Structure formats: structure tokens, C-alpha cells
């Protein structure tokens, strides 16, 4: 913070609350995405090894990997918002 500028009490409290909520939301989004991604990879590998074809399993892994990537992006955005970053 530049010299001569101080946060007001209300602003400090608001930043504390939004930081906590942003980090919580970000962590939950990333966790959910990780679960979806890991599940998709596991199921995709199982489908590939039991059917002998790769299209269905690889397709499933691609879709769930996209969900995981999106969730990570949303989670990072929530954490940045909680830290008042742009």
C-alpha cells in the first residue's frame, strides 16, 4: 500500500471476509475439478482396457479433463478475487 494510504476498518474487514470466501470457493472448485478429472481418467482407462478400443475411453478422459481445467480456472479466479487481484 502506498505511503499515506491506510485502509479503513470497514475496508479491512471486507478484504478479510472476501479473502476467506475467495480461498474457500477456489479450493472447493479445484477439489471438485480434480475429483472429476481423476474419475474420468480412471474410468477412461478402464473402458480402454476392457473394450480394446480407445475412442470411448479417450473421449471420456477428454471431457472430464476439460471440466477439471475449467474448474481450476474458476478456482484461481475466485482466489484472485478474494485477494483483490485483477
Write the pLDDT tens digit of every residue in 14-40. Answer: 888 888 999 999 999 999 999 999 999
**Residue 7 clears pLDDT 60, i.e. is over it:** yes
- 65-81 burial by CB neighbour count: b if 16+ within 10 A, else e? bebbeebbebbeebbeb
CB-hemisphere CA count at 13 Å for 78?
Answer: 18
Average pLDDT over the chain reads 90
pLDDT top residue among 1 and 57:
57
Q: How far apart are CA 29 and CA 20, in angstroms?
A: 14
Amino acid at each position: 500500500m502506498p505511503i499515506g494510504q491506510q485502509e479503513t476498518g470497514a475496508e479491512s474487514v471486507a478484504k478479510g471476509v472476501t479473502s476467506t470466501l475467495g480461498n474457500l470457493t477456489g479450493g472447493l472448485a479445484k477439489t471438485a475439478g480434480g475429483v472429476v478429472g481423476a474419475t474420468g481418467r480412471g474410468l477412461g482407462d478402464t473402458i480402454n482396457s476392457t473394450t480394446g478400443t480407445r475412442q470411448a475411453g479417450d473421449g471420456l478422459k477428454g471431457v472430464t479433463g476439460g471440466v477439471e481445467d475449467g474448474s481450476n480456472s474458476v478456482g484461481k479466479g475466485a482466489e484472485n478475487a478474494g485477494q483483490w487481484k485483477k
